[in-house]
Amino acid sequence: MRTAGRSPQPPARPAGSRPQALEKINLDSVLGEADNARYVTSKILHLVQSQEKTRKEMTSKGSTGIEVILSTLENTRDPQTILNILNILIELVSIGGGRRASVLVTKGGTQILLQLLLNANRESPPNEELMVLLHTLLAKIGPKAVNAVSLGKNGVVELMFKIIGPFSKKNTSLMKVALDTLAALLKSKTNARRAVDRGYVHVLLTIYVDWHRHDSRHRYMLIRKGVLQCIKSVTNIKLGRKAFIDANGMKILYNTSQECLAVRTLDPLVNTSSLIMRKCFPKNRLPLPTIKSAFHFQLPVIPASGPVAQLYNLPPDVDDVVDESDDNDDAETEAEIETEIEDDMDQHFKNDDIETDINKLKPRQELGRPLEELKMYEKFFPELSENFQECDLVSKEPKPFVPDANLGGPIVVPTAGEEVSAEANLSVKGISLKESNSLLTEECNRRPAFLELPKKDSIKDSSLLQQNDQRKLLPSCQCLSQEIVKGLDRISLQNSTKSDQYYAGCVIKKENKASLTPLACSKTCEHVSPCGGSLFEGSSVHLGKLCCTGVDSEEEDSRSSSSGEQVVLEVSDVSPVHDCDLYIEMVKNTKSIPEYSEVAYPDYFGHIPPPYKEPILERPYGVQRTKISQDIERLIHQNDIIDRVVYDLDNSSWSVPEEADVLKFNSKFESGNLRKVIQIRKNEYDLILNSDINSNHYHQWFYFEVSGMKTGIGYRFNIINCEKSNSQFNYGMQPLMYSVQEALNSRPSWTRVGTDICYYKNHFSRSSIAAGGQKGKSYYTITFTVTFQHKDDVCYFAYHYPYTYSTLKMHLQKLESMHNPQQIYFRQDVLCETLAGNSCPLVTITAMPESNYYEHICQFRNRPYIFLSARVHPGETNASWVMKGTLEYLMSNNPNAQSLRESYIFKIIPMLNPDGVINGNHRCSLSGEDLNRQWQNPNPDLHPTIYHAKGLLQYLAAIKRLPLVYCDYHGHSRKKNVFMYGCSIKETMWHTNVNAASCDLTEDPGYRTLPKILSQTAPAFCMGSCSFVVEKSKESTARVVVWREIGVQRSYTMESTLCGCDQGKYKGLQIGTRELEEMGAKFCVGLLRLKRMASPLEYNLPSSLLDIENELIESSCKVTSPTTYVLDEDEPRFLEEVDYSAESNDDQDTELAENAGDYEATSQEDGLSDSDSTRILLS
């Protein structure tokens, strides 16, 4: 701060007497005392700059220091004394904050400063140093609402607009501080309304354009930024936003920001302009008739309260998409401005969610149900009474892990009109490789390929009935001419020979043979229609269309194509748990609410991990800003927008577009989720996801089919109704794509795809009904661009690797058919039926007893239990892949797996929410509720899987056979790596700053053993992300209830990332199914080590493995918050910073001037990972 020049020095005075001396000078009011006043004020300035004590004295209660200073300022005419006093006041306000600014205002300082400002403004030319100091002081007082209103009433806003003006190289410092003052004043709604009423919004835009045009060398960027800050402040109110739109502000800022893009140092201007435009962008409603799911399921019981009850109690004529008074309250919109509510909470979060009631924290083992009632679960534990007297337990040799011989034949996919063997029960129409056959291409685009299967009790052949049903079943399939039929390729699926093995998946061959190899099967094929699909009596399943270009080949021979070349997709015996034929058998018994009849190719063909690494995507500079700019163009250039609906679940009369350059979409298959698609531009589409059934939100999981694409074109997809405030799509995660063409070319894999990926808040408004009562909330957009490799391919996109309910049933049946019953005890039961009538599998795995001698039977029965569950949230498909790894390891011939089976009895519920998975839900079951919030009081009618899963655990507690470990597998959308949540009283108390020692708590630290083991054995596991804190909001989750009520100390949630890893072996890589399955296997290995460590002979644990107390104490001060309030997730708060680019908070002008081009550097780019920023317990 500038200090005053020195004057002749009067005799020295004590420091404490400076204000009194000044008061005396002031009272005497003698002109000869000017030098003395100048000297005293310079000394006071020196003291307030160097001594906090002096600053406190002058602003303390009862002190007259401020009054004396202000009185002197009002009466003196000496320029140097005025400058000294202004510097003193700036020092007091700068360091003291709002309280000292308030003292200045209450002492009448505002009027004095305003009068001084008016006097200085009349001078010609004005004293620039004086004006700068005055504005600096007013800018520091202004942000406080009371001060701003007071200043506004005294005409400061009008005065500021007299000072600021068009481009001029004179008085630029004054212009800058005046703009800062004005921006601070306009944050007051009263002042903002005053500015709007006087037409100042148009004035600000005119000034900005003038400075933008004349500042060609960008020397006055801070002034231009100051004008934008004023516009940003005034547009915080609805009137300001309307005035901005009326003044053509959108187009003005759009054009000026586009001209700034070429200069990196102007990014702060572009970012602020973008923020203003997004804020002023008129809120749109989602183009839906209702935000409730497109599918309806009537509940057997309506809950008495809660979101589902509210949904059912809504009057039928209520528009639930938008509020009537949407965007009417300025306070609501101000809450959304500049930073997200949730993200702001992350920055200043005091965790009041951690449970502090010690009585609630102490586990209290409660049966909850009468013992007589719990006896119904005895039937699920036959291993506790089985004597094995009739079993042959002699052989200990492992049975080879090979596919069932009965399933070894090839699956035939004949073409239309082809005679099919009576033994074949599965047919799919093949696709011709002829190069230019427009009729064939048209027919393929209409999905003519059908896969139809009979129920097991299907009626025998009735040709007449088939012909009558044919037109009903295949309305879009026209009969193909015999000439086209002859040219179709044959596609068959069969097991490969050992020489053709390909890792965990499929091999494709081309063979020149005209005949088809029939499927070896005992069932008969009733009839093949001449229209391209085999028709059966009973239920049917259609397989999606194949790509019209057939299999790519470098040298395509049209003669070989037309002569009946056969494409054979062969399933390797390396991973025999996927069986295409068996999958279809499972699909027939799967019950969906939309009554799906189509099968997605990825689920039919299966998936093999690609043989290459998929690194976390590096975020391009400015990508989000570019996407937002393109969205703003929609408003400015509305005539360029096509706005055509090309897919709509809500409209039964909707038809597939016939144009060749329009993509075709579909999601009518198991686990599919896509509700509506709107073509925005030629190659850009807005996609809307379906809500969970009996819900009006939870939009995140997507799984849909796209066809009709061309190569060499970047197609942009925008999923526009997401709800979370942030996503790993901002940190390198890519969506997944499955190409049928690639599958036919021996690469049946889900691969990470997409460029220009980002996730940001859009202009679609969420109604208060959809936002849990909050108004003014917006939806978010996931946007990504894909360039397809094959013309007219059929591709599938998914949020994560799909794993359907039918896939689970297929895997379980394959595992059961392959195991050696002399070595492995495998049992599959139906725990219960879901609301839709699907069975919930319960699996038991352990080792057969060594013999049927008494001691061996006793050892068998007394093995401790391990209880595992997964997929309570349908959208967390990675949990199923981890569970698949666990199941396959437990059933393998690995010696450690055998030791594990001999050590434990595994009770596994691999899918707690079958209905949600089948119907494409993200989080809920058909009851519209999050099943992982129902464990305290599950309703047997609404939450049968949770009710009976808890019943199994209660039964084990009743018979004194508590599981050693309970673990619920989950997926995590906003953190990286794999980690666990557990339950600890001590750690919870430590994190609430309560002295745990005073609570006389004794706690076995064994709950940390398994996570610690996994951190040393599983490369994807991160101990640093684990938390053992018990939160109030999680009191009804499986983890907490099983710990608190059932009494299982080692009760965990294991979270697997949807994105990738930032530590260990897989650092920098996106996670795939290979890594997820490995995690499931490593979990088993960890259980084996846990058994060995917990055995009596080895109970003294190595200090290097479990240095519990030190670790806890070290970590107790490093915890942020392990919870989140975004859609009630089972996740810690998301602290990984996102650079929203256009939302950068770049108000610090000094930093702005020095680092104007560095606004896209995220924490990850700076080497700070999200696990570092959210670290809870350091290992």
Tell me the three state secondary structure of residue 909: strand
Count the helix, strand and coil residues of the chain and give each as a percent rounded to the nearest 5: 40, 15, 45
Give CA–CA dist 554/546, Å, rounded: 20
Crossing angle (nearest 10°) for helices 18-28 and 34-50: 150
Q: How many helices (H) and strands (E) does the chain have?
A: 43, 23
Contacts of 51 (CB under 8 A, 6+ apart): none
Give CA–CA dist 156/158, Å, rounded: 5
Give CA–CA dist 582/602, Å, rounded: 14
Contact criterion met (CB below 8 Å) for 957 and 365: yes
Q: Can you read off the two tokens belonging to residue 560?
A: 């070989």
Contacts of 56 (CB under 8 A, 6+ apart): none
Tell me the three state secondary structure of residue 177: helix
Give CA–CA dist 1128/1034, Å, rounded: 9
CB atoms within 10 A of CB 962: 19
**Dihedral class, residue 506 (left if φ above 0, else alpha if ψ from -120 to 50, else beta):** beta
Give CA–CA dist 487/509, Å, rounded: 19
Least Cα distance to 186 among 362, 337, 310, 290 occurs for 337
CB atoms within 10 A of CB 1089: 17
- Residue numbers annotated as active site: 1055
Contact criterion met (CB below 8 Å) for 149 and 189: no
Contact criterion met (CB below 8 Å) for 354 and 1029: yes
Give CA–CA dist 1059/974, Å, rounded: 8
How distant, in Å, are the alpha carbons of 890, 903, 1087, 1091, 1100 from that of 1095? 21, 11, 12, 6, 9
Q: Can you read off the two tokens belonging to residue 1154?
A: 């020095």
The torsion angles phi and psi of 476, rounded to 5 degrees, stand at -95, 0
Give CA–CA dist 869/908, Å, rounded: 6
Give CA–CA dist 703/517, Å, rounded: 33
- Residue 1095: exposure state from Cβ atoms within 10 A (0-12, 13-18, ≥19): exposed
Q: Please list the residues that pair with 1069 across neighbouring strands.
A: 615
The torsion angles phi and psi of 533, rounded to 5 degrees, stand at -140, 145
Q: Can you read off the two tokens belonging to residue 978?
A: 């794999």
**Dihedral class, residue 563 (left if φ above 0, else alpha if ψ from -120 to 50, else beta):** alpha
Give CA–CA dist 73/70, Å, rounded: 5
Residue type at 1071?
I
Residue type at 591?
K
Bond into 864 cis (ω within 30): no
Give CA–CA dist 917/1051, Å, rounded: 24
Contact criterion met (CB below 8 Å) for 49 and 91: yes
Give CA–CA dist 1110/1132, Å, rounded: 23
Q: Can you read off the two tokens belonging to residue 688?
A: 């809307």
Give CA–CA dist 766/320, Å, rounded: 9
CB atoms within 10 A of CB 1071: 27
